[in-house]
Structure 1
Amino acid sequence: MQTLLKNLKVEINDKLYVKDPESSDLGKRIISQSIEMIYDLGFEQFTFKKLGVSIKSNESSIYRYFENKHKLLLYLTSWYWSWLEYQLVLQTMIISSHKGKLVKAIEILTQEVIQDSNFSHINEVVLNKIVISEYSKSYLTKEVDVENKEGYFAIYKRLVLRLKDMIIEVHPDYMYPTSLSSMVIEGALHQHYLKDHFTAITDCSKKVTPTSYFLDLIDQLIITNGKQ
């Protein structure tokens, strides 16, 4: 598995960038530093001008890779979902039980992220925090339908459908597998955010993780009532 991950190249929709940032040292520095800066400043305060100063490069050089910071955010979140999808596929392919696959999938999709040494220029832990706090800004826009047709959210949607298929394998008669799948993935982000900022309206805490909550939910809704 580690060998597979080391040879992994995360594939992103090429419409999200002008030049592939993975193709050069400057591009990788743009990605690496933008993750740190978006986390530190917030997406609204982040600019290409500030990024250029930080990486000691002209602002114009960043535009040779990304048309604007919205496309950069879409790239970063797409990279994250693609990376998570690989974790899901590789860690569930060795499990024979449908129930076991589903439980492992829920754990992967809802747990706190740990650093992946296979991608030295990307801090997955910080990127995960960006996805938790900033991902909705990538699709809560007037252009979302056009961007959806362009395939900008294809990786995220594919991940939802993978989990949906696992739900159906355990409980074929469950009526809302797609809604449940998207709710788990999106809900995990929301519960992590509430745990850190609005503790009064969640049961998740330092002792009760979002993973515990969603495993219990899936157990009661799907596994206990499933046929597989």
Structure 2
Amino acid sequence: MDNLLANLNITVNENLYVKNPETTDLGKKIIEHSILLIHEIGFEAFTFKKLGEKIQSNESSIYRYFESKHKLLLYLSSWYWSWIEYKLAFATTNISDPIEKLSNAIIVVTEEIKDDISTRHINESILNKIIICEFTKTFLTKEVDEENKKGFFLVYQSVVNRIITMIEEVNPNYKYAKTLASSIVEGSLHQHYLKEHFQNITNLSESNCLPAFYIDLIKKTLL
């Protein structure tokens, strides 16, 4: 699958950037080091000035690519969910058994993420940690409805919708497919957060059991 992913170009909503960072070395450097810096100091403390110091570039050069750090976080989130969607597509293609297909999808969205070496300027493992900690900050805002209309969350919703379809294939009569699918995706991020900060209230701290938990849950719920 990694070889297939290497041949794919991940596209992000063009309204999230001023200039596409994938088109220049500086743009890729901005993406690479913004991931590292946000992970290091957190999104609240992150500024373009600090990023500029890290990459030895003027703060103004970063604004040529992103108009705000909020748009940058939206860009990183959209890139991440696009990457997850590609992984979902490859993990479930040519599988006829609905429960096997859904199980494979659950593994993709719940497993611990490792870096994909085919994307040299993006460390997916660290980006995943940012998504776990910071993703809700992209939409828990007053502007969420307007940004949703602009399509900023389309890829994230597409990931959830893929899982909704798979749930309905397993059990067309199940009435809560949307709620179950979104709960799996969001719940996975929350459980990984608990593993890092509240280990006493999740079994994930004891073993890498999250895919097994959700697969057990969907089988008992849908079958």
User: Aligned AA for 2:37?
Assistant: M
Could you give the per-residue CA deviations for residues 88-143 of structure 1, whole angstroms, max 9, x where no partner exists? Answer: 00111032211110000000010000111110000000000000000001100010
For 1:19, the equivalent position in structure 2 comes to: 19
Secondary structure at the aligned position of 2:121 is classed as coil
Give, in angstroms, the shift of residue 2 of structure 1.
4.3
Identity %: 54
Could you give the per-residue CA deviations for residues 9-64 of structure 1, whole angstroms, max 9, x where no partner exists? Answer: 11100000000000000000000000000000000000000000100100000000
For 1:140, the equivalent position in structure 2 comes to: 140
* Runs of 4+ more than 2 Å apart: 1-4, 200-204
Alignment map for 1:102-181 (pairs within 5 Å): 102-181=102-181
For 1:68, the equivalent position in structure 2 comes to: 68
Contact 2:2 2:116 in 1 (8 A): no
For 1:219, the equivalent position in structure 2 comes to: 219
Give, in angstroms, the shift of residue 220 of structure 1.
0.8
For 1:105 and 1:94, how far apart are their aligned partners in 2? 13
- Name the CA shift for 1:128/1:70 in 2 (closer, same or farther; >3 Å): same
Contact 1:204 1:213 in 2 (8 A): no
TM-score, L = length of structure 1: 0.95
Alignment map for 1:176-195 (pairs within 5 Å): 176-195=176-195
For 1:91 and 1:108, how far apart are their aligned partners in 2? 8
User: Aligned AA for 1:7?
Assistant: N
Name structure 2 gaps, 5 residues minimum: none
For 2:81, the equivalent position in structure 1 comes to: 81
User: Aligned AA for 2:163?
Assistant: L
Contact 2:12 2:79 in 1 (8 A): yes
Could you give the per-residue CA deviations for residues 48-90 of structure 1, whole angstroms, max 9, x where no partner exists? Answer: 0000010010000000000000000000010000000000001
TM-score, L = length of structure 2: 0.97
For 1:28, the equivalent position in structure 2 comes to: 28
Secondary structure at the aligned position of 1:194 is classed as helix
User: Aligned AA for 1:14?
Assistant: E
Residue 8 (str. 1) matches residue 17 (str. 2): no
- Over aligned residues, Cα RMSD in angstroms? 1.0
User: Aligned AA for 1:17?
Assistant: Y
Contact 1:110 1:210 in 2 (8 A): yes
For 2:8 and 2:20, how far apart are their aligned partners in 1? 16
User: Aligned AA for 1:78?
Assistant: S
Secondary structure at the aligned position of 2:36 is classed as helix
Question: Which sits farther off after the overlay, 211-220 or 110-119?
Answer: 211-220
User: Aligned AA for 1:143?
Assistant: E
For 2:186 and 2:97, how far apart are their aligned partners in 1? 25
Secondary structure at the aligned position of 2:134 is classed as helix
Secondary structure at the aligned position of 1:204 is classed as helix
For 1:40, the equivalent position in structure 2 comes to: 40
For 1:201 and 1:117, how far apart are their aligned partners in 2? 33
Q: How many residues align structurally?
A: 223
